Amino acid sequence: MGVIAAAVAAALLVLVAFDGRGVTRRAARRRLRGPDRSTRRGVWGVLSRLGRWLSRGAVERDDEALVALAALATALVAVTFGPAGGLVVLLATAATIVARRRSRRRWRVLQVDRHLPEVIDLLGLVVGAGWPTVSALSDIGPRVPEPFRSELRAVVRRTAAGEPFVDSVRRLRDSLGPSVSPVVHAVTAAEVDGTPLRPALQRAADEAQRRRRVRAQEAARRVPVLMLFPLVFCVLPAFCLLTVVPLLVGTVSDLGLVS
C-alpha cells in the first residue's frame, strides 16, 4: 500500500506540474455539470471508481480508469523490478494522460469552431418561431453535436434547479471557450435589456462562419508544407532507389568490364 500511495502521489504531482490550473477548471466544470451519473459497470467501472478516489479530481473522468491501472502496474513493477521500473511506468502513464488531455482539448476546440454556426442558426430558427430562449435551448439540445449537447443540457438543468438563466448561460464561456462569447452576450442582452435576439444571433452566426472560413484557409495553406515531409523522406528516396541507383550500378559494371 505504501508503494501505491507513493506512486499515486508522484503521478498527481507530475500532472499538476504539467497543468496546475487545469485541475481547478476541471473541478469547477464537474460542479457545473452536476454529479457523475456514469453507467459503467463491471471491472472497468470498478477501475474508474478506484481511479476517481485516487486522483481526487486531478484527472478527467476518461482517464480515471487509467490512473487505477497505473497505480496497480506501478506497484507490481516496483515490487518485481525495483523502484526504477515503477518510476518508468509512472512517468509513461503521466505522459500518456497529459497527451490524451491535450488531444481532447484540441478536439473540443475544433468541434466548437466547426459546429458553432449551425448551432447558432438552429437556435435563431427556434427563437424566431416564438419559443422562449430556455425552451429553445432545451429543444435544440438533443439535436446538436458534442460538446454543445451536454453543455446546453447542463444550462437547462441548472435553470430548472433554480439558478438564474443569465448566470447559467454565462457559464458557457468557461465550458465551451471564448468562441461562444458573441452568442452568450446576445442571449444575456436579450434577457436583461430586452434587445432583439434574432438579429444578434444572425451577426454571431456570420462571425462564426467567417472564423471557420479563415481557419479552413489557414489549414489549406499548411497542406503544401506538410506534404514536404512525405516528399522528402518517402518519395525522394524511392525515386533515387529506382532511378539513380540502377544507373550507378550499370555505370560501375561498365567501368569494370572496360578495365
Q: What is the pLDDT of residues 182-236, one digit of tens each?
A: 888 888 888 888 778 888 888 888 888 888 888 888 888 888 888 888 777 887 7
pLDDT of residue 41: 58
The answer to whether position 222 is within a domain reads no
Same domain, 88 and 139: no
Q: Which residues of the chain have pLDDT under 50?
A: 1-5, 9, 12-24, 26-28, 31-39
Of 175, 197, 213, the last residue of a domain is 213
Exposure string for 58-84, b = 16+ CB within 10 A, e = fewer:
bbbbebbbbbbebbebbbebbeeeeee
> What's the domain range around 178?
109-213
| Domain assignment of residue 253, yes or no | no
Residue 203 amino acid letter: R
Q: Are 177 and 187 in contact (CB under 8 A)?
A: no
Burial of 48 (0-12, 13-18, 19+ CB in 10 A): buried
- Same domain, yes or no: 147 and 128: yes
114 plus 102 within the same structural domain: no
Under DSSP, the state recorded for 95 is H
The pLDDT tens digits for 103-114 are 888 888 888 888
Domain match, 50 and 140 both: no
Same domain, 152 and 100: no
User: 55 and 98: one domain?
Assistant: yes
Q: Is 7 helix (H, G, I), strand (E, B) or coil?
A: helix
| 118 and 86 housed in the same domain | no
Asked which of 71, 91, 106 is the last residue of a domain, the reply is: 106
Q: How far is CA 166 from CA 27, 47, 96, 98, 184, in A?
A: 22, 38, 38, 34, 9
Are 174 and 185 members of one domain?
yes
CATH of the domain at 154: 1.20.81.30
Q: What is the pTM assigned to this prediction?
A: 0.62
pLDDT, residue 146, reads 85
* Final residue in a domain of this structure, among 77, 106, 135: 106
Residues 102 and 125: their CA atoms lie apart, in Å, by 34
Do residues 48 and 126 share a domain? no
Residue 186 maps to a domain: yes
Are 49 and 141 within one domain? Answer: no
Please give the C-alpha separations between residue 232 and each of 85, 226, 239, in angstroms, as whole numbers: 38, 11, 10
226 part of a folded domain: no
Percent helix, strand and coil across the chain, each to the nearest 5: 85, 0, 15
Structural domains of the chain, count: 2
